[in-house]
A = this chain, B = another copy of it.
């Protein structure tokens, strides 16, 4: 025999999931379904249509608009197509190599990282099927109001707790109009969708800002390059995490984090820095419900700049629509301080802040922040077609919202499992099936226990344990005694669980939770128990 220390190792298969991917259990699925189906009905009520796009796309068609602009190009599950295909030139003709032959390659594919990039691909593809590239600039831009939901994929290298690499989004977008009435509509839809899902009106608030205001502010303070603007906005975007004082430091000489690591500053001149921080300081509040009225916010913004004025006019128009339709500050507020990470927003932006608190690992009550967001992005198809098409939309983070509702105990009622017909005696195997069919015909979920059957008390115990694990409300038992008397034993498992806390006597407990029911009155009896 071989010596033990020389035992050859063999590679094995370990059943496991990829880090950041999950199995979703029935309760969470029910919650996700409730979120999706309720929001979907609101989207439809506003005239949106359900379009789906593939999970897998050509990487170049999805572009590099990763939501977090720092991670551009990274963060995507991407690989080479197994298929060799021609490469195209900018006019859609075969791209020829030096030898005059069409260049062929295994094109990079990518799993979608959001639902907006595929929308851009779809809209562009449809447009190109009707017009030549040279006509695109003049061609009318058809309107598209579409909603879509499904999983998206991000390869995040460091996974923070509660973050996943596969998660569901639930988007709605309107393409083809620059009318900010539609931006107001987005806010109303978010509000109505969340309430349809079951969130109370005091548990969330939709915050609205306009990129043009911050852009105009920076211009009025002398910022004249896109790079500088982007660098500043990246710092401002962090104020809710690091506080205004640290924003001031990062705009200036930089700062040290608690961990000791140094963060470089932008070294802006004092006037510019103060201009930015004074503006923010006016509006920063701990609690978004404490913001001034929308009209008061608009009046308080004094920026001598035409772009900012445009932004203010757009917000004023949105306010008029919201006011007319009764969406007051309880639901939608103006907050001129937030930025939203995505570089591509060009006008109004929105973010829904949850006001629910959760108890975190350290026992501290805290809020969870943003649960959905969106905005206007007139550069939607620019990367693909080189023209601007106005678009505005928003997205509900389904998994994030589900996790919030779970943590905040704002869960909908958990669905019961099926009625369990225990398998007591092989002689009645077909009778069990008949009972099940009768209950199902009455709309009652029913399962006949089909695990290995062994006669005796233990088998029943195991079956009742299974019923518990499945959250079954009722168990049904039928043996030869019952059969002779024309009855069936029915146990109320919910009542049983309740009473087991107070009733110690086994017989007494059984008398309280178990009934003998006439066979032909069974369905009615179970129905009443369940209702």
Contact = CB atoms under 8 A, between A and B. Distances in A.
Given A61-B15, A166-B56, A182 B433 contact: no
A57 B325 CA distance: 48
Contacts of A145: 447
A1 interface: no
B451 A176 contact: yes
Contact of A445 (B33, B44, B325): B44
Contact of A21 (B17, B56, B443): B56
Number of copies: 2
A437 B325 contact: yes
Contacts of A430: 320-321, 324
A384 B13 CA distance: 6
A35 to B, nearest CB: 14
A525 interface: no
B143 A450 contact: yes
A165 to B, nearest CB: 8
Contact of A17 (B24, B54, B321): B54
A17 B181 contact: no
A47 B128 contact: no
Contacts of A21: 54, 56-57
Contacts of A153: 55-56
A321 B166 CA distance: 42
Given A13-B383, A88-B12, A153-B55, A50 B23 contact: no
A448 to B, nearest CB: 7
A28 to B, nearest CB: 8
B46 A25 contact: no
B52 A89 contact: no
Contact of A23 (B122, B166, B417, B429): B122
A325 B433 contact: yes
Given A13-B61, A17-B125, A56-B111, 11 more contacts: A15-B122, A15-B384, A15-B385, A18-B56, A18-B81, A21-B56, A47-B417, A49-B470, A176-B451, A178-B452, A320-B430
